[in-house]
Amino acid sequence: MLLDEELLEDMAIGATILAVGGGGDPYIGKLLAREAIRKYGPIPVIDLADVPDDARLAFVAGLGAPGVLNEKLPRAEEIIAAVEVLEDHLGYRFTHLVPGEAGGLNAILPATAAAAHGIPMVDADGMGRAFPYMDLVTPTLHGGRISPMSIVDEHGNRIVLTSETNAWAEAIGRAAMVASGCMTMTALYPMTGAQAKQWLVGGTVSLAARLGRTVRTARADHRNPVDAIVDEHGAVRLFDGKVVDVARRIEGGWNRGEAVLDGIDAFGGQSMRVGFQNEYLIATLGGETVATTPDLIMTVILETGEPIPAEEIRYGYRVAVLGLSSDRQWRTDDGLALAGPRRFGYDLDFVPVCTPDAARPAS
């Protein structure tokens, strides 16, 4: 697969859907990647299965406060520097770069560094969605180490962090990020090709592109994009409703809260609550939990399929709430311990979205 300007447009739409309400706006990432594609040409995106065992990979990601990332635009220099600072520390060059997340800004940011370095991206990521913690990736489930990792900010400050655990890197790296102005770029989880094939969620870059194409072609054909997502990608329609209340608080830099929806059409007379912490995490129908993290809960405008970030959901929006199974790695005991509802402070067990497994890419 070649990531060219057209595919990039689709991928940006799909990454916004897979961001499940958080993840940072891919728009800025798209602009940076487009510039890189125009300068260096389309970027090869290779299948996870085709990565040589001795390849050297890393995630490239923005680490910042969500609101700030939309105001202070990331620059290509810092994305590239994040990779180079880690390479200098490790003493070797990466052969491939991989998105840490399938959703949001971080789904697209690695493209800029890959293009500048003339190396391919891999059609994979470490979440199959977006999550708000750096340690919340499938490599953690396999003992994969987040560090050494680099943190580069817009002021020229550079950190190499070698942490005892992935959770420590999340805590220390996030504090350093806040102190340096809430907008940093990182290269992290250095891994071999053999490890990548064992650890990562495969096919998620192309899934984002296909999701985006579904929405784009449905709009062009005057079909309903939400129906198209459900029909073509096996998403489960959890609810159609109108937002009647949003409780929101900013806690420790997180956008936490809950949206209340009154059902419409087939869901008339019912009520759904959707809880979020940056990402949508919990969906409750008439008091019964019908979907939880790590499965994907997506909120899109009923008529257009436009994904609504949890930061922006508000009274009056008419939305569909869609569910999609997370990668099977997340649905294991270890996966649920790391990314289940309790990780986010909900006193709830995991409730799976019942999606046909076939609708998900193989991992």
Q: Is residue 2 a contact residue for a second copy (CB under 8 A)?
A: no
Q: Is residue 1 a contact residue for a second copy (CB under 8 A)?
A: no
Binding mask 86-105 for a second copy (x = CB under 8 A): ---x----------------
In terms of CB distance, is 174 or 216 closer to a second copy? Answer: 174
Q: How far is the CB of 237 from a second copy (least distance, A)?
A: 42
Yes or no: say if 131 and 101 are a contact pair by the CB < 8 Å rule: yes
Yes or no: say if 142 and 327 are a contact pair by the CB < 8 Å rule: no
Task: Please name the residue ranges forming H helices in 250-357.
Answer: 333-339
Q: How far is the CB of 17 from a second copy (least distance, A)?
A: 33
Of 273, 279, 249, nearest in space to 261 by CA: 273
The angle subtended at Cα 300 by Cα 324 and Cα 122, nearest 5°, is 55
The SS3 assignment for 116 reads helix
Q: What is the CA radius of gyration of the chain?
A: 19
Q: How far is the CB of 173 from a second copy (least distance, A)?
A: 8
In terms of CB distance, is 148 or 275 closer to a second copy? Answer: 148
| Binding segment toward a second copy, per CB under 8 A, in 36-44, 101-109, 152-160, 300-308 | 152-160
Yes or no: say if 265 and 53 are a contact pair by the CB < 8 Å rule: no
Yes or no: say if 40 and 111 are a contact pair by the CB < 8 Å rule: no
Q: Is residue 158 a contact residue for a second copy (CB under 8 A)?
A: yes
In terms of CB distance, is 27 or 168 closer to a second copy? Answer: 168
Q: Is residue 251 a contact residue for a second copy (CB under 8 A)?
A: no
Distance CA 323, CA 17 (A): 11
Tokens of 313: 């959901």
Count interface residues toward a second copy (CB under 8 A).
22
Q: Is residue 163 a contact residue for a second copy (CB under 8 A)?
A: yes
Binding a second copy (rule: CB under 8 A), the pick from 79, 102, 116, 161 is: 161
Q: Is residue 233 a contact residue for a second copy (CB under 8 A)?
A: no
| Binding segment toward a second copy, per CB under 8 A, in 8-16, 171-179, 239-247, 267-275 | 171-179
Q: Is residue 180 a contact residue for a second copy (CB under 8 A)?
A: yes
Q: How far is the CB of 164 from a second copy (least distance, A)?
A: 4
How distant is the alpha carbon of residue 137 from its chain centre?
10
Binding a second copy (rule: CB under 8 A), the pick from 46, 178, 301, 348 is: 178
The H or E element containing residue 88 is helix 76-90
Binding a second copy (rule: CB under 8 A), the pick from 179, 247, 250, 362 is: 179
Binding a second copy (rule: CB under 8 A), the pick from 2, 49, 73, 175 is: 175
Binding a second copy (rule: CB under 8 A), the pick from 1, 31, 90, 171 is: 171
Q: Please, which residues bridge with residue 61 across strands?
A: 186
Q: Is residue 15 a contact residue for a second copy (CB under 8 A)?
A: no
Taking residue 37's Cβ as centre, other Cβ atoms within 10 Å add up to: 20
Distance CA 82, CA 110 (A): 11
Distance CA 160, CA 186 (A): 10
Residues 323, 329, 333, 339, Cα dihedral to 10°: -60
In terms of CB distance, is 46 or 171 closer to a second copy? Answer: 171
Q: Is residue 224 a contact residue for a second copy (CB under 8 A)?
A: no
- Residues of this chain that interact with a second copy (CB under 8 A) are 89, 155-165, 168-169, 171-172, 174-176, 178-180
